[in-house]
Structure 1
C-alpha cells in the first residue's frame, strides 16, 4: 500500500513541490455543486453565476466547486426549485415570482406598479418586513434564500402593435405560472397562457401565443424580439431574481463555508443588480438596431388598467396582507422621491 511518504517522494520525482501536495488533495476532494438557471450563455445572469462560482471556490479554499448550467439544461424555472427540494440541484436563480407555488403569499410581490425605479425596488426587497417573512418560510420547503439578484421591470413583447390596453383584448400572452401575473393580464384584457420560458420563442413563432411579458434583460437574452418585435415598456411589475440554495446542501457545510457562500452570493448579486440597471438602454438600442420597435407608453393608463388585480388579490389573500405590501412600497416611493 502506498503511504503518504511514498506519495510525497513520487510527487517530488514528478517535479512537483511538496508544498503543492495539500492543494492537489483539495482539488481531488472538492465537492461539486450544481447551479441551474434558464438565462442564455450571454445574459447578465450567466455572468453573475460564473462570478459566484469563482467566489465560492475561493471563499471555501477549494473545498467546493460550482458547476453552472445555463439555458435550462437541467430544468426549467419551476422544476429547478423542485430539484432543490429533493437534492437534484444545489443552487437555482430564478424570478421571485417562481417561488410563489411554494410560499403562496409571495404572490403579492407581483402586485402591479409597486416600484417606479430600480433603487426603490432594491430597497423594497432589502428592507420589507412582508418579503422577509415570506423568505423565512423557504427553509421549511427545502430551499434557502441566499441572494438578491436582478432581472428588472416586466414589459411586453408582442407580434402586434400594443398602443394601449384596448389592443390587448383577447390576445393570447404567455405568462409565468403566477396567479398575480395572470390577474394583471386578465385585468388589462389579455388571455394569459402559462408556458415555460424555454418554450416561449417557438410558441410565439408558431403563433400559439402572440407575445409574452418579461424584463428587458430576459427579452434580449432569449431573443424574443426576433419573433415579437413590438416591445412596450409598461414596467407593470418589478421582477427581480432570488438566488436559492438547497437547504440540505447549506446544512451540510461548515459555518465558515456557509459564510463563504453567502458572501459570494452578496457580491455577485450586487454586481448583477448594477449590471442589469446599466444595461437596459444599451440592450434596447441593440434590439432596435435589429428591428425591434420600442414604445414608452403613459404608465398611468396601464396602471389603471391593472387595478383589477389588486381587488382580486384582496379577496384571495385578505385586505390586510395586500395593504401591507402596497403600504410598504408606497412608503419607500415617498421617502425616495
Structure 2
C-alpha cells in the first residue's frame, strides 16, 4: 500500500511539472508574438532613388537635393536620397514605369509628359493664364491642383506636389515672336503635351516634339527654327549659343509633377511616411522661391551672353487661339475648367 501510495504521488508530481511547463510555454509565446510590419520596419535606414530629366544645375535638381537634406535631418540620418539627373535612367516613360514597379522611389516628372497620361494636368499649360511665375506658384495649393495629384493614384503613383522651373517663352534663331504671323510655318521645338501641341498648331507654327538631349544640335543645324522654353533650362542647357532672339511671351508655366511609388510609400511605417511628406513640402516651399529668384538672375545671364531680349508683347493677337485651347481642354476635364475659372477670377 505504501509503495502504491508512493508511486501515485510520484506520478502526480511529474504531471504537475509537465502542466507547469506547458503553461509557461503559452505565456512565453504571448509575449513574443510577431511584430507588426510598422514595428518591424521602423528605425530602418534607407536610400531612396530620385529620377528626372534636367541637368544638375537646374532648380528641380536643387530642390531634389534640398529634399534629401530635409529627409536626413528629420530622420536623424536614417533616410537618404540618390539622385539620377539628366535622363540617366531613360526617357520619362521608362522612369514612370520604374516608379510604378518600385524600382525607383521618386520622380520629378515634367508636367508635359504627365499630361499625356492625365488630362487634368493640361490645366497648367492653358495659354496666357499667368502673367508671371508668382501667379502660377499661388495655384500650387489650390483645390484643383490637389485633385490633379489625386488622379495619379490610379497609375500606382502618389502625387506629392508641383515644383516650377519658370514660365515658358520663345527663343528664335531669326527675329522675335510678337504675333502669330511671326511664328507661321516655323518649326518650334516643344516638349510633348496635348495642350502644347494644340496651341502651337493653332498659332500656325510647326510644333516639333523632341527630348532635351537633341535640342542643342537641332538649333545649331537648323532642324528647328526656335524653341518653347523656360529660362532655367535655357541657361543650363546653353541653347542661347545657337539662337539669339528671346521673346518673353509667358504663354504658359512649366511645373514638374513630383511623384512617389505608391507601392514603396505603402511599405513605409507611418512615421517615415510623415517624414517624407514633411521633407518634400519644405523642399518645394524653398524650391519655388528659388525658381522665382532665378527668373531674374537667368534673364541677366542671358543678356550678358548677348541674347537680344524683347521683354513685353501685346498678347491680344494671341487671344483667339488662347480661347480656343481653353475651350478644347475645359470640355475634356472638369478640373481644367475649374482651374481656369479660379485663376481668371482672381
Task: Report the TM range for the smaller structure's normalisation.
Answer: 0.7 to 0.9
* Contact map agreement 2:176 2:245 (CA 8 A) in 1: yes
Q: 1:47 aligns with which of 62, 67, 71?
A: 62
Deviation at 1:111, TM superposition (A): 1.0
Contact 1:95–1:151 (CA under 8 A) maintained in structure 2: no
1:309-331, Cα deviation, whole Å (9 max, x unpaired): 2243356x16x555423211112
Give me the whole-angstrom Cα distance separating, in 1, the residues matched to 2:336 and 2:72.
41
Deviations 1:49-82 (A, max 9, x none): 1111122122223332210122222233443223
String of CA shifts for 1:104-147, please: whole Å, max 9, x gaps. 222233111222233321222211x3332221111221111223
Contact 1:236 1:302 in 2 (8 A): no
Match of 1:312 among 300, 305, 328: 328
Q: Name the CA distance, whole Å, in 1 between partners of 2:254 and 2:340.
A: 15
8 Å CA contact retained: 2:48, 2:106: yes
In structure 2, the partner of 1:272 is 287
Q: Distance in 2 between matches of 1:196 and 1:112?
A: 22
Q: 2:316 aligns with which of 301, 311, 326?
A: 301
Aligned to 1:325: 339
In structure 2, what is the equivalent of residue 136 of structure 1? Answer: 150
Residue 102 of structure 1 is aligned with which of 96, 117, 131? 117
Q: What's the secondary structure of 2:199's corresponding residue?
A: helix
Contact kept? 2:192, 2:209, Cα under 8 Å: yes
Residues 32-111 of structure 1 aligned to structure 2 (within 5 Å) = 32-111=47-126
- The residue correspondences of 1:1-337 to structure 2 (distance < 5 A) are 30-127=45-142, 129-164=143-178, 165-301=180-316, 303-304=318-319, 306-307=321-322, 308-314=324-330, 317=332, 322-332=336-346
TM norm structure 2: 0.81
Q: 1:329 to 1:286 in 2, by over 3 A?
A: same
Aligned residues of 1:236 and 1:303 also touching (Cα < 8 A): no
3-state SS of paired residue (1:239): strand
**Matches of 1:265 and 1:90 in 2, distance apart?**
13
Q: Report the counterpart of residue 31 of structure 2 in structure 1.
A: none
What is the DSSP-based 3-state SS (H/G/I as helix, E as strand, rest coil) of the residue aligned with 1:137? helix
C-alpha separation in 1, matches of 2:226 and 2:219: 6
Q: Which residue of 1 aligns with 2:15?
A: none
Change (3 A) 1:199 1:302: farther
With over 3 angstroms needed to count, the CA separation of the structure-2 counterparts of 1:52 and 1:46, relative to structure 1, is: same
State the structure with more CA Rg: 2
Contact 1:147 1:262 in 2 (8 A): no
Q: Partners of 2:101 and 2:211 in 1: how far apart? A: 21
Q: Residue 254 of structure 1: CA displacement?
A: 0.9
Q: What is the CA–CA distance in structure 2 between the aligned matches of 1:60 and 1:175, rounded to whole Å?
A: 40
Count of residue pairs the alignment pairs up: 302
Following TM superposition, where does structure 1 have runs of at least 4 consecutive aligned residues deviating by more than 6 angstroms? none
For structure 2, list consecutive stretches of 5 or more residues without a partner in the other structure.
1-40
- 2-structure distance, mates of 1:46, 1:97: 17
Quick check: 1:31–1:64 contact (8 Å CA) kept in 2? Answer: yes
| Residue in structure 2 matched with residue 5 of structure 1 by the alignment | none
1:145-169 deviation line (CA, Å, top 9, x unaligned): 2233121111112212124221111
- Aligned partners of 1:262, 1:124: CA distance in 2, in Å? 19
Superposition deviation, residue 299 in structure 1:
4.0
SS at match of 2:54: coil
Aligned mates of 2:321, 2:117 — CA distance in 1: 25
Aligned counterparts of 1:43 and 1:321: Cα–Cα separation in 2 = 29
Give the TM-score normalised by structure 1: 0.83
